[in-house]
Structure 1
Amino acid sequence: MTSAIETAVEDGIATLRLNRPEVRNAMDDAMRAEVIATLEGWAADPAVRALVLTGAGAAFCAGGDVRGMQQRLAAPPEEVAMNGWRRQGRTHRCVALLHTFPKPTVAAVNGAAAGLGADLALACDFILAGESAMFTMSFLARGLIPDGGGMYFLPRRVGLARAKELVFSARRVQAAEALAIGLADRLAPDAGLHAAATAWARELSAHSPAALALAKSVLDRSLEMGFEEVLAEGSKAQAICYTTAEHRAAVAAFLGKPKG
């Protein structure tokens, strides 16, 4: 049986490729479980310094599996809500692992990132859009609301009014517009998308893994904290940094540089 994802680690850069190209990498329960297990393992693996998330074939991720939705609606009405609630928990676990991954994450968006696919991209630290990339918060067109973190991540990227417009209209945003409004951070040709994402991930992860993880943990919460709280959290993180081998080596290397 073919795996719902493909994984590779090369020179510290991990690639997680969603691998259901026949349905544009729509996420079903099996794919979700594999993504969760992989992210949990890589988060704790010191050999992994950064993550690139992308899709196989012509799409990044078309969102949730609509055929699966149809099958679930065939359950007795009294079971639909609880089944959905349990599935939401697994979806939220998947998105939370991406958001809190203690290393840089880059979504290399090839083709459509629709619904939950857009949410997965938004959960990453950075979005690199291929020339064929297209984003759509398509939930309302299915009679649903964004449920994969998009209502948290999207306003923080594009502002509240624009986030409302994108969610309410469910319209398509092509790569150039995505860059212009801050939905994407960089563009790359489709042919070189993965190479560009890997190179960027390598650049982002070049320094102390411990300091990076700690800085990311504070930055990810900084918009919900006041100034004094950010300083307090930063002080605790810095105290840990003072004890790391990377800090000691960096100080020694700096002081050992020739003068002039």
Structure 2
Amino acid sequence: MSLTLIDLKVENSIATITLNRPDKRNAMSDAMRTQFIDALEHVAADKGIKAVVLTGAGKGFCAGGDIAGMEKRMNAPAGEVGFNGWHRQQRVHHTQALLHTMPKPVIAAVNGAASGLGADTALACDFIIASEWASFAWSYIHRGIVPDGGGMYFLPRRVGLPRAKELIFTGRKVDVDEAVSLGIVDRKTSAATLVADAQAWAAELGKGSATALALTKTILNQSFELSTHDVFAQGSQAQGICYTSTEHRESVMSFLAKASAPANKE
């Protein structure tokens, strides 16, 4: 599956989604977002895909929202600005939710600048691996707006509330080494091997039971908001589903077969 603004390739059960608007540092336009949604829905529904890598074409990961789109919204008739903005926000939230709730591991391979919505998009993934050229900036404040791609939810969970406030209030640039020290980036690697390293990590993360991974991720994503009782309750329900899965049955039967096999004698 290959699209103009979003490129999707699947190899060895790993999907690699590339934001493909390098001349604009992969700034997210409305057309690009539509194709991104299509790609994410396709990947989520394909049981043959075990994990996902998200990266950017060219020198940047994602420069955030498209400025031309912002100008177009401001120039709309006064009576339509509010509703147009609300409608756009629904699309933004739908996109980020698809990424965050993807029922398989997702790694952001950040190859360059991730600013504004681009930084939030990286955070919406389960893990972040970055090259030496990567940087992050929650630069919304410079446009007079608030983080609308999940940064106000994801960033405090990565770096703590006071540091998240500082990064969002200032909109300052965070280089890759500081990002690693703050816990924004999980792994640093070279630009030459970034995507390959991300794909290898994705293969490692996605090799387990797809059923167990999807259910575990769903519960972990809510675990900061849930009580202990709720986590145990959801875990019990998920385990009941796992008991009926093909992966569980095959694993148990394989273990029992090995355990009962006679030992080789020399």
What range is the shorter-chain TM-score in? over 0.9
Q: Which residue is 2:252 aligned to?
A: 251
Consecutive unaligned residues of structure 1, counting only runs of 5 or more, are none
Q: Which residue is 2:47 aligned to?
A: 46
Matched, 1:228 2:229: yes
Q: Which residue is 2:171 aligned to?
A: 170
Q: Which residue is 1:99 aligned to?
A: 100
TM-score, normalising length from structure 1? 0.98
Aligned length: 259
Helix, strand or coil for the counterpart of 2:38?
Answer: helix
Q: Which residue is 1:119 aligned to?
A: 120
- Give how far 1:245 is off: 1.0
Paired letter, 1:137: W
Helix, strand or coil for the counterpart of 1:212?
Answer: helix
Consecutive unaligned residues of structure 2, counting only runs of 5 or more, are none
Helix, strand or coil for the counterpart of 1:54?
Answer: strand
RMSD between superposed Cα atoms in Å: 1.1
CA distance in 2, matches of 1:130, 1:54: 11
Helix, strand or coil for the counterpart of 2:130?
Answer: strand
- Give how far 1:253 is off: 1.8
Deviation by residue 1:41-97 (Cα, 9 ceiling, x = unmatched): 111111111110000000000000012211221112221111111000001000000
Paired letter, 1:107: A
Q: Are the equivalent residues in 1 in contact too, given 2:5–2:21 (CA < 8 A)?
A: yes
**What aligned pairs does 1:87-166 form with structure 2 within 5 A after superposition?**
87-166=88-167
CA distance in 1, matches of 2:180, 2:207: 25
Paired letter, 1:222: S
Paired letter, 2:175: Q
CA distance in 2, matches of 1:204, 1:167: 31
Q: Are the equivalent residues in 1 in contact too, given 2:140–2:168 (CA < 8 A)?
A: yes
CA distance in 2, matches of 1:20, 1:142: 21
CA distance in 1, matches of 2:215, 2:257: 27
CA distance in 2, matches of 1:37, 1:148: 18
- Give how far 1:131 is off: 0.8
Deviates more, 1:186-195 or 1:69-78: 69-78
Helix, strand or coil for the counterpart of 2:33?
Answer: helix
- Give how far 1:255 is off: 2.2
Paired letter, 1:159: G
CA distance in 1, matches of 2:146, 2:87: 17
Matched, 1:202 2:208: no
- Give how far 1:148 is off: 0.6
Helix, strand or coil for the counterpart of 2:76?
Answer: coil
Paired letter, 1:44: A
4+ aligned runs moved over 4 Å, structure 1: none
Helix, strand or coil for the counterpart of 1:222?
Answer: coil
Matched, 1:5 2:6: yes
Larger Rg: 2
Deviation by residue 1:143-188 (Cα, 9 ceiling, x = unmatched): 0100011101110111000100000010000111101100010001
CA distance in 1, matches of 2:239, 2:72: 51
Paired letter, 2:177: A
Helix, strand or coil for the counterpart of 1:224?
Answer: coil
CA distance in 2, matches of 1:105, 1:33: 19
- Give how far 1:142 is off: 0.7
Helix, strand or coil for the counterpart of 1:22?
Answer: helix
Q: Are the equivalent residues in 1 in contact too, given 2:6–2:39 (CA < 8 A)?
A: no
Paired letter, 1:171: R
Q: Which residue is 1:24 aligned to?
A: 25
Helix, strand or coil for the counterpart of 2:188?
Answer: strand
Matched, 1:63 2:67: no
- Give how far 1:256 is off: 2.5
**What aligned pairs does 1:208-223 form with structure 2 within 5 A after superposition?**
208-223=209-224
TM-score, normalising length from structure 2? 0.95
Deviates more, 1:53-62 or 1:79-88: 79-88
Q: Which residue is 2:183 aligned to?
A: 182
Paired letter, 1:123: A
